[in-house]
């Protein structure tokens, strides 16, 4: 009995969260991909380039040799994956949402430096980590996308999923127009489902 | 004089980074939700839509220029100044530019987030 109430409460809260932000689990995975791929790609590229040694303008051939280093090669592949995830995220979320939401990569790098590479992290840097985490928390609760004109509010459901198509009539492609956001409409949906504002 | 070069370099990096991000965001909005398009029409159609979009190539060009100007800025100034200053100012610049050029609703929540992240990056990389 208690378990079923807890499960229902959790599902309702999850649905309210999805309605408010317009994000599904898959979209959170894409944002996580942007964060992790960028941090991992940068780390591997940095490690590989340190192994490859200094490269001067007079010996550009060394740059080609550096590409053969497995760390550099994997780093480049990860950065390509980052770029694909970043483009994917920008296709359904605002730039001013994606950039702060994916800045946890800086925190990830600092944590890897502290706990995997055993580097010293100064109090100022811990303060920086706290600020970034606060910024991510701030932006994550808001709507991901500004909707212009006659577009429908985010439903938090994939409109191409056959099971959701009957419920959602949101257009697949963006339509030109000005002004207005989904914010108030989303809140109305949340209220209708019995949820409150944050 | 070197200080002037360094800050000029940082401003150029920020301008190209913001330009690249804004144009990339615009091009991907013109393409549409990649996942939804992919499921309905297939990956080939998505790639065709992306690579037939001229704004996408302008965005990649601006990002490449941002990268090369960062290299120049790094050769003029210390990495501990150039990297955090460029990253932080890019966050702030993007918030302004997205509001003006993309007509995004940058509400108080997003301004605070951009400022917190910019400050955090400056502390982390400084």
Percent of chain A predicted with pLDDT > 90: 13
Q: How many CB atoms neighbour CB A193 within 10 A?
A: 11
Q: What is the pTM of this model?
A: 0.73
Are residue A121 and residue A159 in the same domain, yes or no?
A: no
- List chain B residues with CB under 8 Å of A88: 34-35
Q: Are residues A82 and A167 in the same domain?
A: no
Q: A54: domain range?
A: 26-142
Q: Which of A127, A159, A173 sits opposite B123 (nearest CB)?
A: A127
A40 and A90 assigned to the same domain:
yes
Select from A84, A119, A120, A135 the residue whose CB has the most chain B CBs within 10 Å, as the one to mutate to test that interface.
A135
Q: Do A155 and A116 have their domain in common? A: no
Mark whether A45 and A120 lie in a shared domain. Answer: yes
Q: How many residues does this entry show for chain B? A: 126
Say if residue A31 is in the same domain as residue A129: yes
Q: Give the domain-ending residue among A117, A142, A167.
A: A142
Confidence (pLDDT) at A14: 56
Query: Which of B97, B123, B126 to mutate to test binding with chain A, by most A CBs within 10 Å of its CB?
Result: B123
Looking at beta carbons, which residues of chain B come within 8 Å of A86?
A: 24
More confident residue, A118 or A134: A134
Q: Which of residues 141-180 of A touch B (CB under 8 A)?
A: 141-142, 146, 148, 158-160, 172-174, 178-179
Report chain A residues whose CB lies below 8 A from the CB of B67: none
Inter-chain touch B32–A142, beta carbons under 8 Å? no
Most confident of A16-25, A80-89, A163-172: A80-89
Whether A127 and A184 share a structural domain:
no
Residue of A nearest to B19 (CA): A95
Residues A111, A48 within the same domain: yes
Whether residue A153 sits in one domain with residue A103: no
Do residues A161 and A198 both lie within one domain?
A: yes
A135 and A66 within one domain: yes
Q: What is the ipTM of this complex?
A: 0.86
Domain count, chain A: 2
Same-domain pairing of A52 and A122: yes
CB contact under 8 A, B24 and A90: yes
A98 vs A57 pLDDT, higher one: A98
Q: Which of A12-16, B36-40, B63-67, B92-96 has the lowest mean pLDDT?
A: A12-16
């Amino acid at each position: 009995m208690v378990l079923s109430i807890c499960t229902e409460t959790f599902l309702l809260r999850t649905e309210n969260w999805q309605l408010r932000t317009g994000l599904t689990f898959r979209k959170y995975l894409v944002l996580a991909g942007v964060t992790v791929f960028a941090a991992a790609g940068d780390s591997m590229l940095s490690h590989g380039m340190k192994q490859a040694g200094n490269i001067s303008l007079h010996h550009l051939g060394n740059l080609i040799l550096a590409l053969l280093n497995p760390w550099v090669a994997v780093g480049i592949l990860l950065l390509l994956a980052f770029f694909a995830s970043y483009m994917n995220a920008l296709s359904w979320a605002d730039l001013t949402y994606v950039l702060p939401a994916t800045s946890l990569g800086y925190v990830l790098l600092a944590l890897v430096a502290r706990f995997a590479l055993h580097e010293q992290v100064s109090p100022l840097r811990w303060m920086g980590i706290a600020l970034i985490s606060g910024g991510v928390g701030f932006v994550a609760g808001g709507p991901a996308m500004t909707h212009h004109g006659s577009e429908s509010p985010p439903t938090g459901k994939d409109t191409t999923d056959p099971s959701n198509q009957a419920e959602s009539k949101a257009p697949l492609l963006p339509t030109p127009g000005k002004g207005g956001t989904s914010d108030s409409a989303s809140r109305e949906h949340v209220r209708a489902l019995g949820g409150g504002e944050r | 004089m070197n200080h002037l070069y360094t800050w000029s370099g940082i401003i150029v990096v920020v301008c190209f980074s913001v330009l690249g991000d804004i144009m990339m965001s615009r091009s991907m909005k013109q393409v549409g939700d990649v996942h939804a398009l992919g499921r309905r029409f297939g990956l080939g159609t998505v790639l065709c839509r992306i690579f037939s979009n001229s704004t996408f190539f302008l965005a990649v060009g601006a990002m490449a220029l941002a990268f090369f100007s960062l290299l120049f800025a790094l050769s003029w100034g210390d990495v501990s100044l150039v990297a955090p200053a460029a990253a932080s100012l890019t966050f702030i610049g993007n918030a302004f530019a997205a509001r003006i050029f993309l007509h995004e609703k940058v509400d108080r929540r997003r301004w605070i987030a951009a400022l917190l992240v910019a400050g955090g990056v400056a502390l982390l990389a400084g």
